[in-house]
Amino acid sequence: MEDLHNPVLPARMPMIQTPRLVLHALEDADLEDALELLYNDEIKKTFMLPDFASHADAVEMFRVLQRMSHSEEHFVYGIYCKERLIGFLNDVELDGDSIELGYVIHPNWKNQGYATETLTAAIPELFRIGYTSVKAGFFEENQASRRVLEKSGMKKTAFTAEIEYRGKTHHCIYYAIRKP
């Protein structure tokens, strides 16, 4: 019998398909597209990524994400449009039956609804595997993320946080959705 207070992710996460996107585990062939995401200065403004000391460090970060995307202990997916990696979705925190998500879409693919489409597809999958609460946070100045979370059915919570990132303190606002 499944323990709903400690969901166990399937050993091989199922592919998630939307009208325009496919979400699945990261593969070796995704390395160059993933590095574009990890090195992108615009992404680094709103998604917490390190400045890599070397190319090898960036490749290792990709390998970690790739392993997590194949792991039964994490919820990590590559986001693909026409078979090209355009972003990724990842667990930020797992806490019993609650999961916090983060997501990235390459700036060349932004403002086309892909982030909303991704979250709208991922949330029912998370509920299906046993999570009862899905949340995500964003830096207050990132209003595009606020709109994505609202369009995905999430509601603003009372919880906020002050997060130090890149020499600046960011006010982080959280949204969540509970399983009906």
How many H helices and E strands in the chain?
5, 8
- Give the chain's domain count: 1
β-pairing, 21-24 vs 133-139, is: unpaired
CATH number at residue 95: 3.40.630.30
3-state SS class at 98: strand
Q: Are 69 and 76 within 8 A, CB to CB?
A: yes
129, 9 in Cβ contact below 8 A?
yes
> Residue 169 domain-assigned?
no
Within a domain: residue 124?
yes
Q: Mind listing the pLDDT tens digit for each residue in 13-60?
A: 789 999 999 999 999 999 999 999 999 999 999 999 999 999 999 999
Q: Report yes or no on 165 lying in a domain.
A: no
Is position 143 within any domain?
no
Q: Does residue 64 belong to any structural domain of this protein?
A: yes
pLDDT recorded at residue 8: 55
In a domain, 81, yes or no: yes
Query: What is the chain's mean pLDDT, rounded?
Result: 93
pTM of the model: 0.92
Rounded CA-CA distance 108/85 in Å is 12
Burial class (CB in 10 A: 0-12, 13-18, 19+), 138: buried
Q: Is residue 141 part of a domain?
A: no
Dihedrals phi, psi of 148, to nearest 5 degrees = -60, -45
Q: Which residue has the tokens 């999570």?
A: 131
58 contacts: CB under 8 Å, gap ≥ 6: 35, 38, 39, 52
Give residue 105's domain range: 16-132
Q: Cβ(122)–Cβ(101) under 8 Å?
A: yes
As a residue count, the chain comes to 180
pLDDT tens-digit readout, 129-169: 999 999 999 999 999 999 999 999 999 999 999 999 999 99
Residue 173 lies in a domain: no
